[in-house]
Amino acid sequence: MNKYFKKYGYYFAALFSLLIKDYKQAIQHFSEVMRYDFFLLNSSDNYMKAVAKCEPAKEFVVRGGVGDILQAVPFMMQNKSKGYFVMTHFMEAKEFFEKIDVPVKRFYFY
């Protein structure tokens, strides 16, 4: 299929999603539009409007080793009321999160 048909198809699907207030679907469609053409009409502005109106996430998954966990720590320290699931191969992760006082719902070790 021609990329122009895809681009405009996603654009009109995103506008329709905004019209019916399905913001999560609109975000997905606008991200596809911007993949093909970032500056198409007002897609980046509408993308930001959809993100602003979308319900914020209540739970987050942190996945990776020590470096990935350390990158997520500043966000986690500012948002301690959120729920976190940690998937890691760092075996001392439980002790680490207890020391920095960030509540984690569940740990998954691989």
So where are the chain's domains?
A: 3-53, 59-109
Reduced to 3 states (helix: H, G, I; strand: E, B; else coil), residue 42 is: coil
pLDDT at 18 over 70: yes
Mean pLDDT lowest among 35-39, 68-72, 80-84, 86-90 = 35-39
pLDDT of residue 53: 80
User: How much is the mean pLDDT over the chain?
Assistant: 86
SS3 24: helix
Mean pLDDT of 46-72: 84
List, in sequence order, every beta strand (DSSP E) within the chain: 59-63, 83-88, 106-109
Q: What is the pTM of this model?
A: 0.53
pLDDT mean over 73-79:
89
